[in-house]
Amino acid sequence: MTDERTATLRLGTRASQLALTQSQHIADVLTASSGVPVELVHVSTQGDRSSEAIAQLGGTGVFVSALRDALHAGTVDLAVHSFKDLPTAPAPGLTIAAVPPREDPRDVLVARDGLTLGELPPGARVGTGAPRRMAQLRALGLGLDIVPIRGNVDTRMAKVAAGELDAVVLARAGLARLGRMSAITEVLDPIQVLPAPAQGALAVECRSDDTRTMALLAALDDPAARACVAAERAVLTALEAGCSAPVAAHAELAEAEDGTAELWLRASVTAIDGSDSVRDSISGPATEAESLGRQLATELLDRGAAALMAGPR
């Protein structure tokens, strides 16, 4: 008879190299902390099966729905998501049981000949699949030709090696997890290119009534990462924007004078053609992370963010 306390947990994951690397890391940490074996279960998602741009697929949730269906069906016990891929609305019957320590959320440039963003000549072809990155790169006014691309990290970098593109912009976190840091030619300053909400963070999800899995995952949760992500995603929610909208947000924690944790949050909305943007910041107690995100979103909306997200008429 199987002891339920040591029964193998089934972890649902996409089959891309980055997803498998992230999921295996969570599996290893979970086994190390609990002694419970974890088996990876590959789940194919809409985003994996389609070659269309994410925005054309509907953006939010294209990498998530199939994993959540598997959780509801009971074919997996937990799922690991890139947090920035998750819809902002909660999923009935499911809970984010752990937000593990976060990787550096900044964007990076991988360019030919070791070039930085400022060294790329006008007309240089720079590839990215994210409307947020497209908008912010155009707003810099460097005269770059921003090219929409799809594919995994290696596929994108191969376009630079082959001379099809002069550079690509990627998340530093993915390259760090894949051991590809040597390919980076510049880590982009958030003042130039502000990261996506929840970039670099993972979300480990399970069924809300699965008390055993929830208890095991509690050991993986990092309160600092959870607070920062909560603030950033509250901006998205209040703006009623999906993960493919040209919205950026980045939160950091610092110690206040009274010894409590203070959260500093920056966010921006940029017109997809780069012609205009609004950006603001706010700070306050980390315990009020979501409230700070909502307040900052209200400031951005008051300054015209909705029109920028809607795009040209």
- 107-187 maps to which CATH number? 3.40.190.10
What is the pLDDT averaged over residues 50-67? 61
The answer for residues whose C-beta is within 8 angstroms of residue 9's C-beta and 6 or more apart is 30, 36, 37, 38, 39, 77, 78, 213, 216
Query: Which position among 77, 85, 166, 280 bears the catalytic label?
Result: 85
Distance CA 67, CA 305 (A): 32
Domains 4-100+201-221 and 107-187 fall in the same CATH topology: yes
Encode pLDDT of 124-135 as tens digits. Answer: 999 999 999 999
Distance CA 203, CA 180 (A): 22
Question: Within 10 A of 240 (CB to CB), how many other CB atoms are there?
Answer: 12
Beta bridge mates, 80: 204
pLDDT higher than threshold 60 for residue 109: yes
Domain-wise residue ranges, the chain: 4-100+201-221, 107-187, 228-310
CA dihedral 55, 289, 14, 3 (to 10 degrees): -160
What is the pLDDT averaged over residues 234-249? 88
Q: Which residue has the tokens 């985003």?
A: 47
Of 91-100, 129-138, 168-177, 236-245, the least confident: 236-245
User: In which order are the strands placed within the sheet that holds 38-42?
Assistant: 38-42, 9-13, 78-82, 202-207, 94-98
What is the pLDDT averaged over residues 18-35? 96
| 85 catalytic residue (yes or no) | yes
pLDDT higher than threshold 70 for residue 48: no
The answer regarding whether domain 228-310 maps to CATH 3.40.50.10860 reads no
What is the pLDDT averaged over residues 206-235? 97
At residue 3, the pLDDT reads 60
The answer for residues whose C-beta is within 8 angstroms of residue 228's C-beta and 6 or more apart is 102, 201, 251, 252, 253, 263, 289
- 4-100+201-221 maps to which CATH number? 3.40.190.10
At residue 58, the pLDDT reads 47
Q: What is the mean pLDDT of the chain?
A: 92
Question: Within 10 A of 4 (CB to CB), how many other CB atoms are there?
Answer: 7
